[in-house]
Amino acid sequence: DVKVTQSSRYLVKRTGEKVFLECVQDMDHENMFWYRQDPGLGLRLIYFSYDVKMKEKGDIPEGYSVSREKKERFSLILESASTNQTSMYLCASSPTDLPYEQYFGPGTRLTVT
Amino acid sequence: AQSVTQLDSQVPVFEEAPVELRCNYSSSVSVYLFWYVQYPNQGLQLLLKYLSGSTLVKGINGFEAEFNKSQTSFHLRKPSVHISDTAEYFCAVTGGSNYKLTFGKGTLLTVNP
């Protein structure tokens, strides 16, 4: 079974804090993704990575950065958290030969106060 | 660019009734189409996919979907639902870049006893 794990299920941070969300997958997938999920908006792609140290902007990268130093780990960084970044964050991974077959983690619900 | 429209944000049904969740897409290129399901407090799970071939695709848990190119639709159906099918369902499309999935806003299916 593909396992995608996220470091926290729930996180509460203050405005202006630097926030790290960690994602680890155990299936040796080349591709990894970060989405945010908001009610009525569905999922929106923030960043994705198709190889170690490679990254591409998604649809809503503003206010976020990412890091991928190892194949299995993909981190989302909020440099200075703001209240409009309160959301559910979902990580996913997929293999090179089937990039659209994405396997999702359970999500991190981030609240910025 | 691709877009996905899920025509119903909420669909309440009684147990053992049939259900159809509607999805329309727009794309200037050939597409792959997907349905994902999100059970409460979990990440997304791939339900079924259309890549090519037969326009009727079967997925897990008794769901099926039909690709209709002329209507640009990919509606999800199940002949008899169970309480355990209560979840949010997302339609998604790729096109051009296989890395990127464009998701609809989701349909919350609530199955009542």
Q: What is the mean pLDDT of residues B62-91?
A: 96
The alpha carbon of residue A8 and the mean position of all alpha carbons in its chain are separated, in whole angstroms, by 12
CB–CB contact B43 A56 (8 Å) = no
> Are residues A65 and A53 in contact, defined by beta-carbon separation less than 8 angstroms?
no
Is the pLDDT confidence value at A76 over 70?
yes
Q: What is the mean pLDDT of residues B80-92?
A: 96
Q: Residue B30: its pLDDT value, please? A: 77
Q: Residue B83: its pLDDT value, please? A: 96
Residue labelled with tokens 């609530």 = B110
Q: Residue A97: its pLDDT value, please? A: 84
Q: Residue A98: its pLDDT value, please? A: 83
CB–CB contact B101 A41 (8 Å) = no
CA-to-CA distance for A11 and A7, rounded, in angstroms? Answer: 10
From B46, B90, B100, residue closest to A101, measured CB to CB: B46
- Per-residue model confidence as pLDDT tens digits over B26-39: 887 778 899 999 99
CB–CB contact B43 A50 (8 Å) = no
What are the residues whose beta carbons fall under 8 Å from the beta carbon of B91, sequence distance 6 or more?
A: B4, B6, B21, B23, B25, B33, B34, B35, B74, B76, B103, B104
Q: Residue A100: its pLDDT value, please? A: 83
CA-to-CA distance for B25 and B111, rounded, in angstroms? Answer: 26
Question: Residue A61 — pLDDT band, cuts 50, 70, 90?
Answer: very high
Q: What is the mean pLDDT of residues B91-107?
A: 84
Is the pLDDT confidence value at B67 over 90?
yes
What are the residues whose beta carbons fall under 8 Å from the beta carbon of B30, sequence distance 6 or more?
A: B95
Q: How far is A66 from chain B (nearest CA, A)?
A: 17
Q: Residue B36: its pLDDT value, please? A: 96
> How far is residue A81 from each of residues A16, A43, A86, measured CA to CA in Å?
5, 20, 9
Mean pLDDT of chain B: 92
Is the pLDDT confidence value at B15 over 90?
yes
Is the pLDDT confidence value at B51 over 90?
no
Question: Residue B84 — pLDDT band, cuts 50, 70, 90?
Answer: very high
Is the pLDDT confidence value at A2 over 80?
no
CB–CB contact A107 B94 (8 Å) = no
Is the pLDDT confidence value at A90 over 80?
yes
CA-to-CA distance for A76 and A86, rounded, in angstroms? Answer: 14
From A42, A44, A90, residue closest to B106, measured CB to CB: A42
